[in-house]
Amino acid sequence: MRVNTLCLLSVFLLICVVNIVPNNTDASIHIIYSDNENNDGSGTSDYDMNTQPEAYSLTILSGTQVSQALTIMNAGVLDLDWTVKANHSNQYTSSVHLTDTNGVSTDHIFQTGYISQNALLNVTINGDYDDSGEYAEVYINNISIDQIGGNGISNGTDIAVNYTFTEDQISQWTESGMVTITIKNSSDVDNFVSNTHSVKLITTGNASKVSITPTQGITARSEVSSLTVTIYAENLNAGTYLDYLYINSNDPETPMLEVPIHLNVTGIPNITTNPISIDTGHVFTNVSKSVSFIIKNTGTDTLQLTNFLSSDTALTVTSYPATLLPQESGILTCTVLSSNAKSLDAHLTIVSNDPDEPMSIVSITGDILDPPVIHVNPDLFEMSLMSGEQKHLSFTIQNTGSYTLTWDLENSRNFITSKKTKVAVYANYDVVNALH
């Protein structure tokens, strides 16, 4: 038997036409199909790596750690040789707005209390920005810093620009606690499928720490390898952080696989006061005296001062910072004022959102005394002197108050006016009596 075979191969179908002609000979038909997969007939790739999970999204309390399982799976037919490492990326916040009209602006507001060193601002626009008059203007806190687009780039193409800022440059952001990035389209920007304004603020402050165990291994065919990933949120302020696990392997199609770790850190505010006690010294009745101390937030989330409780009506709070960002300090000022003489031994309780110390107490002590009261007799001298003439004056200083009066005298130049001339003389005072 003779076999004639015609095979037609298309993208979707392999068609073979077989003519069998008897000639008293046995025959067998073998169709061998091969692609870039393994040639053992299984249709499986030599290497096929994937992970479970493909990404992490975790919430963690600042100062704590969390461990997660990571599984590397080899669906190929050859051994998978891999290593894994973590990239400690920085804290980031992103904001995306879609626009559909010309002249429109979008505001992107970011909290900035967590910025401790430098910051990178990434602005990306996509839409109708191909002609010279079609651009977007970038503002930071209402101050224009740049115009992007309008340089012949095809519509629908991402136009990305990075701006870097030093700690000194962003100090005003951290003082206010936020920054507003405004992207405004020019009036010539036409309606496109969608005009996109995307802003990402990336800091180079603290970053989370990630450890992996083990960091390398070999995963046999159709087997899995189990790893432990531990994320540490040491000294991290409240906010969103992004890390990556990078798995390098001998898989030629995916030599490096990224596993992102999205980390949402919940912070804890912590209040400290300096000093914790204040001695006001002597304060006179009906005379106010201000005392101040420093409040600092040494925690990792915004500290909110919500109330103040004084144990003595003579002590009141006159100014204070309502909120303090992490590591920020502020001045709290109190006023001591009383119409009655007494010993002051007051406690000021500061109520805040510090979970460990919701009520922080500052001690304020001192003496409120009736003041000295001076009386001078006589309180006026009137006389006529000839040029060069001297005269001794006597008067009495008396203290009718309850506290010791301290005083001193200063000679002053007096001008005595006559009809024709102005004569300058020195007046010498002799104190005859000073009564307490």
Q: Can you give the residue ranges of every domain in the chain?
A: 92-203, 271-369, 374-435
Instruction: Please report, for residues 73, 110, 307, 350, the alpha-carbon distance to residue 345 in angstroms, rounded to integers and kept in the order given.
Output: 70, 44, 20, 16
The DSSP output letter for 113 is T
| Rounded CA separation 397/431 (Å) | 8
Which tens digits make up the pLDDT trace of 76-114?
Answer: 889 999 999 887 655 555 666 665 556 788 888 776 655
Handedness of CA 249, 251, 255, 257 (dihedral sign): negative
- Residue 236 is classified by DSSP as P
> E-strand spans in 10-134?
14-21, 49-52, 56-61, 65-74, 80-87, 92-99, 105-111, 119-126
Distance CA 351, CA 292 (A): 17
Residue 102 is classified by DSSP as: T
pLDDT attached to residue 111:
64
Residue 2 has pLDDT above 50, yes or no: no
**Rg over CA atoms, the chain:** 41
The matching CATH number, chosen from 1.10.3720.10, 3.20.20.70, 3.40.50.720, 2.60.40.10, for 271-369 is 2.60.40.10
Residue 303: the pLDDT is 95
Q: Which amino acid is at 34?
A: S
- How confident is the model at residue 314, as a pLDDT? 96
Gap between the Cα atoms of 129 and 182, Å rounded: 17
Comparing 433 with 164, the larger pLDDT belongs to: 164
Instruction: Check pLDDT > 60 for residue 3.
Output: no
Residue 267 scores a pLDDT above 70: yes
State the amino acid at position 389 in one-letter form. E
140: tokens are 């930071």
Model pLDDT for residues 366-405, shown as the tens digit of each residue = 999 999 999 888 888 777 878 878 888 788 888 888 888 8
Fold held by 92-203: Jelly Rolls (2.60.120)
Taking CA atoms, 51 is separated from 48, 55, 358, in Å, by 10, 9, 45
pLDDT (mean) for 38-52: 68
Looking at 4-13, 127-136, 145-154, 412-421, which range is the least confident one?
4-13
162-189 average pLDDT score: 79
Mean pLDDT throughout 294-301?
Answer: 93
Q: Provide the pLDDT for residue 334.
A: 96
Question: Quick one: pLDDT at residue 157?
Answer: 87
Q: Round to whole Å and give the CA distance between 18 and 99.
A: 62
pLDDT on residue 421 = 38
What pLDDT, in 10s, does the model give residues 107-137?
Answer: 887 766 555 567 788 899 988 888 888 899 9
Segment 155-164 shows an average pLDDT of: 89
Task: Examine the pLDDT at 360 and tell me if it is beyond 60.
Answer: yes
Distance CA 64, CA 230 (A): 11
The rounded Cα 65 to chain-centroid distance in angstroms is 21
Across the chain, what does the average pLDDT equal?
A: 79
Q: Per the confidence metrics, is the pTM higher than 0.75?
A: no
Asked if residue 208 has pLDDT above 90, the reply is: no
